[in-house]
Structure 1
Amino acid sequence: MNLSNKKIIPFVHLRSHSEFSVIDGILKIEHLINKAKDFNQPAIALTDLHNIFGLVKFYKKARASGIKPIAGCEVYMSDSLDSKSYYRIILLVKDYDGYLNLCSILTKSFTEKKYKKSKVPLIIKTWLIENNKGLIVLSGARLGDIGQLIDSGNIELAKKRAKEWSELFPSNYYIELCRSNNILDQQYTNHALKIAMELNISVVATHPIQFLEKQDFQSHEVRVCIAEGVSINNPNRKNKFSETQYFFSTEEMINLYSDVPSAIINTSEISKRCNLILPLGNPKLPNFYHNNIELNNKESFNKLLLNMSKEGLNERFINDLPHLNDNAKQQYEDRLQHEYKIIVQMGFASYFLIVQDFINWGKKNGIPVGPGRGSGAGSLVAYALGITDIDPINYDLLFERFLNPERVSMPDFDIDFCQDNRERVIEYVKNKYGKDSVSQIMTFGTFGARAVIRDVGRTLDFPYTFCDNLSKMIPFNAIDPWTLEKAISQDAAFKEKYEQDEDVKYLLDIAKPLEGLTRNVGMHAGGVLIAPGKLTDFCPLYCPPEQPNNLVSQFDKDDVEAMGLVKFDFLGLRNLTILDLTVKYIKELNSNQKNLVLSKIDLNDFNTYQILCESNTTAIFQLESKGMRDLLKKLKPNNFEDIIAILALYRPGPLESGMVDDFVNRKHGLEKVNYFHQSLEPVLKNTYGIIVYQEQVMLISQIIGGYSLGKADLLRRAMSKKNPDEMSKHRKTFEEGAIKKGYSNILAKKLFDLIEKFAGYGFNKSHSAAYATIAYQTAWLKANYPAEFMAATMSSDMDDTDKIKLLYQDCIFNNLEILPPNINLSIFKFKPIYDLKNNKKNILYGLGAIKGLGYSIIEEIIKSRNEKGPFKNLIDFCMRIGKSINKRALESLIKSGSFDSIEKNRALLFNSIPLAIETANQALISTHQQSLFEHDTIKKDLSFYDDSLVNDWSLNKILTEEKQSLGYCISGHFFDIWVDEIKKIIPNRLINIQPKQELQLICGIVCCIKKIVTKKGKIILITIDDKSSVLDVMIYHDLYDLKKEVIIEDNFLAFQCFVYKNEYNENIRIIAQDIYSILNIREKYLKTILLTVTSKKLIDINALKNILLNYKSDNSNISISVKFINYIKSFSCILKIGSSWNITPTDEALFSLKKLDGCEDIKLIY
């Protein structure tokens, strides 16, 4: 054929990697399709590397653009499981059979044992042979087995392999030609063409598309380096790609293969043979098993649902709603029937049955389940079935907000399970429906603006601080994240950096094409698929290399639903774990609460509302943040509806609109409540005339506008989307409906304007009511059983030292004593214990929160304690625990104070570790595991427990080591070290600091240092703590540079500062003018160091002289005096040493004087 007539020769790209190749692709699918359209190419294949993550998106977008989508995949192949080598080929899908076969072999490659070891998913050739129907094989060019053999010079074997492939895949095997500017490409092409000609195998031309335009090559290289974790400048890095791997036009491809016209023509021929039709839409639910009998028709589903719903409602009447009269019960029965008809009409009976089954299994097996979440809490059928525990009628929750008969879509129950036991429920579902039918769902992590700067900068070898500071210049907005382009165009400082700093411009220009691309794959937080049959009949599965037993779908949430799979949400909620453990602790410690059930607690408890009004809400679900605390203080909630409203109101929209202030003022009678019409008072009464919930919008539309609740939900949706055409239609319908119902047109217009305004701010009351239930339960427990609740809360956060510290501080604030870990009493978790002597409950520290201790060691400690009683001393402990414990773990236990109940001298214990371990080892060897204390020879070695031989650590040392072990201190406070010394110089405590015009001197222990970049430059916030309060001190960068050597966490610092009233809130603002260390304070204010000597033992004069010489300072004004006391003759005198012996009063100098032989005491006189 003559290739000069280029217009009539169609060409199709059959090899492309999109961003979903993750490792080496940066092409967005829409860009790939648009480019094919620009070049008038009728079709295009997506062949990502060993996955089809992007297939559904590609399929839908291509068809919508008039481009034929060809499904395919570049796969890793191996001849056998024993083979150590592998190669790559292209598989293209001809039809649905081919799609199913591709799904099957891809999935198998991720579940094979070899993958778990090598981390490379391999398709074994025999699998492909057994599942070859509907698939076309391209040889893989130089990366394929034939290409590798040609490159290595083994031409005959290459020819033999090609013959095998062509026989295994008659008419479906093509030798792939690929010219990507590599020096070996021509050699490969020559031999490949010769083999193809000799064996009569068709050839096909491909081009390995990795990026869109030629200028994207550098960004692509950086993306590859990010995936490989290497620097782009690494001399040992292999250059696998070239700048020619952009999207070639048809002309470029024809020119490239002008010598092999059939290779171009065959791209179109293959395209014609690939006609995959994906069955999108039409959700497919699995059949339900009841009492081990499979139900597989709608009639049986419907009948069972009705029976179970009625039975469940009757149980609710008895157990949860005994106060209802017959009329009220009839209202519930009518609502149940109404919901049931809609469920049946929409064909979702089996969905409700499946969900109730695994929820009720969880409840029966001791797994805490949340009261509800999302709009599902509005269903009475769900309440009757035990899916939710919120009475929807009592809280005016609407079923149509969950399931709208006028808008057919799958219902979606979001279920919260106790985090520790969520996997048990998923395992139950796998066992019930089959492991081949259940998996979790893939998610994609993307390059955000800040992250891409750090990733690209690291790869380009820019300094960490340069990248970190640049990334932090991008404003943070979680709701509407800033992009690099937006930051460059709208942030003046960032724009200036980009335009004036060449390094910044270079980095950002490379980063921009990567921003928003898929960076990594992960697992959906709660989504679980249950398929009617094998999952691979719908999509392939993937297994992350670091989680070899966690299969996830290769499609994300939207795409699995498009394929007809139904997602069930199994969400893990830590607070349910806390509630469960708290109740267990309460039952253990309180004999009168053995039957406590949280769903039945009093919703009008005085103690609960008191802590809410005081904003004492650390550890209370959803109410912990500073902003929420401020709102609680203003609102002062005194009923459960207030808590529901708070959760709905504390969001950016309502806060910015002024709704929240109106709500607070109306509650406290400072503003008049307006219901607009008396018929709306029942709807708006609980929210003081303010439209807070979406359900209120729906009810107003029903009452005034004559809407059905289904149509009212459509109105709510239209309002949230702010579609002008839709809104215009609804306005007309609403006003006409209002007039028909006898309301004035003025009222109708006013109300429509009102709901249109507030619909954007309205929140789902069903969700708010469900989460308000958990919030109230946690508040009730904290208010009434604080020790049990805080012990459970701290147990749930043992891996988070910062959170434990915060909770510890809250315990102190609430007068709860935290007892240090005790080797003979503590368990893995924190636990409440009753103090009979003082008639109160304390919290005993959990061994699991000590750094360096693993679960197995703690398990061994508790087991030994239970079997043989308390540990008697360090040797006893070492011998009984044996090899289970190492030196580091033993050190952590001692530093944490775990052995204080046995021996308070931690220095003695710490120094004795080697001897204890050695003695225990010798005892074990000599006694053949018999009791250590049966032998007199071992008893003698216990003499090291004479604490007179070793001085205990100083308080500073105790606290420092304790912090290293626990993350913070519970034996004391660093401020205790200095408080007596500085109280005359700085008597004012932080809690008493008030704004003044003059400079003030304040002090505290540094507990946090934050560097903040503002438009005016860098500032540093130093958080200090003096036990009375915690405050932030602001210092400017020039002062920080001068004093940064002493600005260290846990250091004592004093600040000469101005204290201002904060103009935005009731707090104060502190700006430091100077900073003093304890040494600076002494040098400035200390007058004399007074040593006390008595007649009992005279001081060692030579030793004193040596100390003074070591710390002597000619510039010091601090004198040394010695006070001598003669107890026999009852007199004393003070000897002042000359100024030539004045010293620098460092901690080391004072410590040396204090330890001086004969020195009874040392005093600092200011």
Structure 2
Amino acid sequence: DRQPALAITDLNNLFGAVKFYKEARGAGVKPVLGAEIYLEGLGSEPGALTRIVLLVQNTQGYLHLSELLARAWTRNVARGQAQTQALCRLEWLEELGAGLIALSGAQAGPLGAPLLQGQATRAAEVAGRLAAIFPDRFYIELQRAGRPEDEPHVIAAVQLAARLALPVVATHPVQFATADDYEAHEARVCISEGEILGNPRRVRKFTRDQYFKSAAEMEALFADVPSAIANTLEIAKRCSLTLVLGKPQLPDFPTPLVDGVPMPIDEFFRVESHEGLEARLAHLYPEVAKRDAQRPRYVERLEFEINTILKMGFPGYFLIVGDFIKWAKGNGCPVGPGRGSGAGSLVAYALKITDLDPLEYNLLFERFLNPDRVSMPDFDIDFCQGNRDRVIDYVKDKYGRDAVSQIATFGTMAARAAIRDVGRVLDMSYMFCDGISKLIPNKPGQPVTIQYPPNPKKEGDKNNYAIEMEPQLAARIEKEEEVRMLVELAQKLEGMTRNIGMHAGGVVIAPGKLTDFCPLYQQPGSDSAVSQYDKDDVESIGLVKFDFLGLATLTILEIAREFIAARHAGQENFNYEDIALDDVPTYRLFSEGKTEAVFQFESRGMQGMLKDARPTRLEDLIALNALYRPGPMDLIPSFVARKHGREDVEYPHPAVAEMLSETYGIMVYQEQVMQTAQILGGYSLGGADLLRRAMGKKKLEEMAEHREKFRSGAFATHGIPEDKADEIFDLMEKFAGYGFNKSHAAAYSLLAYHTGWLKVHYTAEFFCANMTVEMDDTDKLKVLFEDAVKNFGITFEPPDVNSGNYRFEPVTDKSIRYGLGAVKGTGQLAVEAIVKAREEGGPFGSLYDFCVRVDRQRINKRTVEALVKAGAFDAIHDNRASLVASIDRAFEFANATQANVAQVDIFGDSEHGSATAEPELVAAAQWGVKERLTFEKVAVGFYLSGHLFDEVAHEVRRFCRREIDELLDSREQQVIAGIVGDLRVINGQRGRLAIFKLDDKSASIEATADEAVMNANRNTLKDDELVIVSGRLQPGRGGFEARFQVQQVWDLATARCRFGKFLRVAVNGRTPDIARLVKDFPPRLETTEAGEVRQGMPVRLTLARAGARVELQLGENARFFPNDAALASWIAQADAGQAVIVYE
């Protein structure tokens, strides 16, 4: 209704201020920024909290409000039962009130309670105090929102205002846009509070009247107090903040002094870049003649980049990034070789921001910083995970802790979550809501909405709207009222902000106090403040974002480097930068697909692709890394066929043949699209980047202009006719849509090469480093363990309290000692205590000695039990059962010993105390293999010293020859065997579903069994039990691993009946008690779909006489059920124990 101004006054924050400001300005509405704040010190009672509204008049007011909010969140937080809130102190208002207009906060404000309680004098005192803090800028706030206390408050407030000659203003506590949104708002409140929407006892804090009212509605509402409406316009006129947006403001970078004067930053930048380039060239070309020959092309490129960066005004940015990377590398914080398009900059390479020569790999500076489009450069820097915070601390120390912070992120309510949450507050069953939510397609990287699609529909809408993609969902919405109500309420909440978090890597560095730009927020329990604006808004107000990202691979490489330097003579200064990039064994590793835990190449699909492609150079790895993602993945077969000469290499035009030769004529990279535009269309590389962006974003008008420009350029430069130019342009458009950033692919492929090289040449160190980093993830540890043992011949020594440490450690080039930290229930503090005791007193002699000497504040009985079960005491005593049974006794002994020592200390001699003799261990029978391995799995996460399948493998492989790692990639019926693990039952769309791992030592696979199969095999499908199953392989797709769909299940005894022909029993001169054996182990009756089946095994007796053998088939009455006990009895009664099942 054309109201001229609008204010945003969220509680204790300015989270949405910048977006609100932009939207309002764009709509021709004057934005008024503000916040409703909690205030302490003015309540009716000591400690009472009240709320007032602060509105920003000008830049000074904005700075003061930012400072107030930052102080409240970082210095004065009250943690209540329901929520945590930041509190503003009255003295802070006295200090920072200038530039702000204050509203009294209506009923929730410091005047509310006194006025409603008839305490006019108290109310007058409070109003006078606030009026003094905000002279001519304090208004008594009136609200009418359908709440019981509204009218009494308005009457008392108007009377107080008249008595004190203070202005009044009418506001409305808006919570939702229209009256129809009330139910959605209440649902959101219930989600937050864990309430049920229909609960009659629920406290209703809001009314239906709290929607956005028109000017006419507000005038009618306050017709009896017209000045309250007039003052809304008066306040709007008094508020005239202008935010400076889109102007980057970097902190000053300190340059060295020359004759007592700081060197100009542009000059220092140029000097640093040229000196850095010379250092790089000396490393790249050790021979002076080669270096001199190559220098001109490097210097030409460097000068172009320097001049572009200086023209854009960004030398400080490069120097700041180069400085903290230099500090990191010099202080034991590994840094990645590059990430994103920044690896295409030679200046970045010269300043050692990146570690990949962009000229060697034809990487483009214009992809990073476009001379034709001024935008802030953006380096994403990978740091070792464990050291990243040290680098951020360095930056805080250098530029000031009040100038540096991390950045807020806002989580929103996604479609599936909205359905589940709304269903819960509507008190619908979990099964019902979960079933509806699962009808919403879940595509990684492609969000799908539950909104109704527009009419008319646009091209591509089907891939964005769940109702279009899933006909069953659309049908249920149409036919079921309950589903329609659930979905339509969830539609109103989808996309709304749900929580506040911290950006994974974003750090802002301000040229001064951060609160001169934005307020800060500190999460409860955290000691680190973040900006109240997200990354986009932070950049809008001029702050520059630096991405400090943690990368586990760098941690792995650093741990391995430490092992290499410590174990191998002459490698004390080992550096990955010195590795040759043409190592044949490394490329053989990639070609064989043995890339488990090799950065970027570890997935099963990637391993299969590597086997086909057989890469022989880094360029191949770069291309494959870029191709293996949705979209270009379809080009992989052609790329591989062209590489190996099975398909002709074709080029769009001979002029681009050299540029496209490294990818065999296929445009794999965005940079190749740019270069095609440059070579054929006469574009500058900056202009080609603008073309690439237009193509990628499918900007039709821009594309039409570019097509015309490309046609004319192609004809002018190469005489290419219009139809051929259009053909090439269409090809470029296709590749621009999914072409990958070559600079990023190159930098990450270099990191991949380093990890592959490490796996080949320092295998034990590679696995130790990986397993140390992944020690909290049992599944990953198991995969690494199996890869090490099966593919690289590594042996593992069990964890050992007398020689092990927290980390996995190489003992020899082919042997690894299991890390104590990977034993469940230990932890770093416990292991440190064990190592400390061992270093101070030597190896532990017994369990009792261990419990006496290790600090029992760091270990408990569960810790010791886990260590015993993992085998960490085997070198001290080999009976794990006895050790576990003795743990209570050991702790009692340790406590008694400690008390004895304390008594000696008190009396100063040994007369009153003596050494306590160690008791005997509790006697217990050794665990059998299965029991030992099962306990080992509990302690470690998998079978470490053996495998449960080993005990049965010899027999099982007689009738089930296909190992899990040999499963056929087809839908035909297959039979496999393995040990069940990680069994869980979920509620699926078609009933309950059992999901479990099946492991036969060759590999493991996730398997599923539907409710019918599960119910029929309750006693068989259990963790750590052997099963033989028949079913079909469900191929992996969409990033999910393959699954085996189980249709039949047998334990070993029933499998013997199913697959065995008969039991052959030798009876030379000795006849078994067949009647007794059949009576003790009768056949079992099992009910199947075909009816009852008698599960029993036939018996044949064999008698050898004079070189001949007679075989007698016993009748049906001699069938027996062949469990282990039955077989043991037959063997015991057979001649020379010769009783064996015949399977063929």
2:268 aligns with: 304
Counterpart AA for 1:970: L
Mapping of 1:967-1006 within 5 angstroms? 967-979=941-953, 986=960, 989-990=963-964, 1002-1006=976-980
Structure 2 CA distance for aligned equivalents of residues 553 and 825 of structure 1: 48
The answer on whether the counterparts of 1:1088 and 1:1118 sit within 8 Å (CA) in structure 2 is no
The answer on whether the counterparts of 2:255 and 2:264 sit within 8 Å (CA) in structure 1 is no
Describe the superposition over 1:546-585 as per-residue Cα deviations: whole angstroms up to 9, x where unpaired. 32x1111111111111111111111111111111111111
2:475 is the counterpart of 1:511: no
SS of 1:652's equivalent? coil
Describe the superposition over 1:663-689 as per-residue Cα deviations: whole angstroms up to 9, x where unpaired. 111111111112344432331111111
The answer on whether the counterparts of 1:288 and 1:295 sit within 8 Å (CA) in structure 2 is no
Mapping of 1:602-621 within 5 angstroms? 602-621=580-599
Q: CA deviation at 1:1073?
A: 4.0
2:377 aligns with: 411
Relative distance call for 1:937 and 1:223 in structure 2 (3 A) is same
Q: CA deviation at 1:894?
A: 1.6
**Unaligned stretches of 5+ in structure 2?**
452-464, 1066-1075, 1086-1093, 1100-1115
Structure 1 CA distance for aligned equivalents of residues 161 and 1080 of structure 2: 90
The answer on whether the counterparts of 2:302 and 2:346 sit within 8 Å (CA) in structure 1 is yes
Counterpart AA for 1:793: N
1:60 aligns with: 22
2:664 aligns with: 688
Counterpart AA for 1:779: G
User: TM-score, with normalisation over the residues of structure 2?
Assistant: 0.87
Relative distance call for 1:313 and 1:1057 in structure 2 (3 A) is closer
SS of 1:802's equivalent? helix
Q: CA deviation at 1:248?
A: 1.8
Counterpart AA for 1:665: A
Mapping of 1:1034-1073 within 5 angstroms? 1035-1044=1009-1018, 1046-1057=1020-1031, 1072-1073=1046-1047
2:863 is the counterpart of 1:889: yes
Describe the superposition over 1:415-466 as per-residue Cα deviations: whole angstroms up to 9, x where unpaired. 1111110111111111011011111111111111112223333344444443
Relative distance call for 1:147 and 1:1152 in structure 2 (3 A) is farther
Counterpart AA for 1:100: L
Q: CA deviation at 1:602?
A: 1.6
Q: CA deviation at 1:73?
A: 0.6
Bigger drift between 120-129 and 485-494 goes to 485-494
The answer on whether the counterparts of 1:287 and 1:295 sit within 8 Å (CA) in structure 2 is no
Counterpart AA for 1:766: S
Q: CA deviation at 1:237?
A: 4.4
Q: CA deviation at 1:189?
A: 2.1
SS of 1:183's equivalent? coil
Structure 2 CA distance for aligned equivalents of residues 873 and 497 of structure 1: 68
Bigger drift between 1017-1026 and 393-402 goes to 1017-1026
Match of 1:561 among 533, 539, 550: 539
Match of 2:391 among 425, 437, 441: 425
Counterpart AA for 2:583: D
Structure 1 CA distance for aligned equivalents of residues 606 and 806 of structure 2: 33
1:449 aligns with: 415
Structure 1 CA distance for aligned equivalents of residues 201 and 847 of structure 2: 53
Structure 2 CA distance for aligned equivalents of residues 643 and 559 of structure 1: 37
Relative distance call for 1:88 and 1:992 in structure 2 (3 A) is closer
Bigger drift between 955-964 and 103-112 goes to 955-964
Q: CA deviation at 1:763?
A: 1.7
Relative distance call for 1:410 and 1:1117 in structure 2 (3 A) is closer
SS of 1:209's equivalent? coil
2:459 aligns with: none
1:267 aligns with: 232
1:104 aligns with: 67
Describe the superposition over 1:129-154 as per-residue Cα deviations: whole angstroms up to 9, x where unpaired. 21111111111111112113334554
Aligned residues between the structures:
1081
1:488 aligns with: 467
Structure 1 CA distance for aligned equivalents of residues 918 and 1118 of structure 2: 46
Structure 2 CA distance for aligned equivalents of residues 124 and 263 of structure 1: 28
SS of 2:945's equivalent? coil
Bigger drift between 516-525 and 886-895 goes to 886-895
Relative distance call for 1:845 and 1:453 in structure 2 (3 A) is farther
Q: CA deviation at 1:794?
A: 1.2
Counterpart AA for 2:1027: L
Counterpart AA for 1:312: G
Structure 1 CA distance for aligned equivalents of residues 952 and 814 of structure 2: 31
Counterpart AA for 1:767: H
2:168 aligns with: 203
Relative distance call for 1:970 and 1:522 in structure 2 (3 A) is same
SS of 2:405's equivalent? strand
Structure 2 CA distance for aligned equivalents of residues 905 and 665 of structure 1: 59
Counterpart AA for 1:952: Q
Counterpart AA for 1:510: L
The answer on whether the counterparts of 1:437 and 1:532 sit within 8 Å (CA) in structure 2 is yes
Q: CA deviation at 1:94?
A: 1.2
Q: CA deviation at 1:287?
A: 0.5
Relative distance call for 1:833 and 1:152 in structure 2 (3 A) is farther
2:298 aligns with: 332
1:923 aligns with: 897
Structure 2 CA distance for aligned equivalents of residues 996 and 699 of structure 1: 43
Describe the superposition over 1:1087-1134 as per-residue Cα deviations: whole angstroms up to 9, x where unpaired. 9999xxxxxxxxxxxxxx9x999999998998999xxxxxxxxxxxxx
Structure 2 CA distance for aligned equivalents of residues 160 and 1062 of structure 1: 73
Match of 2:691 among 702, 715, 718: 715
1:26 aligns with: none
Mapping of 1:469-488 within 5 angstroms? 469-485=435-451, 486-488=465-467
Q: CA deviation at 1:90?
A: 0.9
Describe the superposition over 1:996-1029 as per-residue Cα deviations: whole angstroms up to 9, x where unpaired. 9997754222235688999998876654222234
Structure 2 CA distance for aligned equivalents of residues 861 and 1012 of structure 1: 41
1:771 aligns with: 748
2:779 is the counterpart of 1:816: no
% of aligned pairs identical? 45
Structure 2 CA distance for aligned equivalents of residues 888 and 725 of structure 1: 69
Describe the superposition over 1:940-960 as per-residue Cα deviations: whole angstroms up to 9, x where unpaired. 434227xxx311223332223
The answer on whether the counterparts of 1:1021 and 1:1033 sit within 8 Å (CA) in structure 2 is yes
Match of 1:600 among 535, 560, 578: 578
Structure 1 CA distance for aligned equivalents of residues 962 and 418 of structure 2: 48
1:40 aligns with: 2
1:1096 aligns with: none
Counterpart AA for 1:419: Q
The answer on whether the counterparts of 1:530 and 1:565 sit within 8 Å (CA) in structure 2 is yes
SS of 1:189's equivalent? helix
Counterpart AA for 1:533: G
SS of 1:1047's equivalent? coil
Q: CA deviation at 1:918?
A: 0.5
Structure 2 CA distance for aligned equivalents of residues 381 and 1072 of structure 1: 58
Mapping of 1:877-956 within 5 angstroms? 877-883=850-856, 884-928=858-902, 940-944=917-921, 949-956=923-930
2:612 aligns with: 634
Structure 2 CA distance for aligned equivalents of residues 813 and 239 of structure 1: 64
Counterpart AA for 1:92: L
The answer on whether the counterparts of 1:637 and 1:643 sit within 8 Å (CA) in structure 2 is yes
Relative distance call for 1:755 and 1:1074 in structure 2 (3 A) is closer
Structure 2 CA distance for aligned equivalents of residues 895 and 761 of structure 1: 52
Q: CA deviation at 1:332?
A: 0.9
The answer on whether the counterparts of 2:823 and 2:870 sit within 8 Å (CA) in structure 1 is yes
Relative distance call for 1:987 and 1:176 in structure 2 (3 A) is same
The answer on whether the counterparts of 1:1011 and 1:1019 sit within 8 Å (CA) in structure 2 is yes
RMSD between superposed Cα atoms in Å: 3.9
Relative distance call for 1:296 and 1:952 in structure 2 (3 A) is farther
Relative distance call for 1:942 and 1:290 in structure 2 (3 A) is farther
Relative distance call for 1:230 and 1:792 in structure 2 (3 A) is farther
Describe the superposition over 1:776-835 as per-residue Cα deviations: whole angstroms up to 9, x where unpaired. 11111112212111110111122222222222222233222232211112211112111x
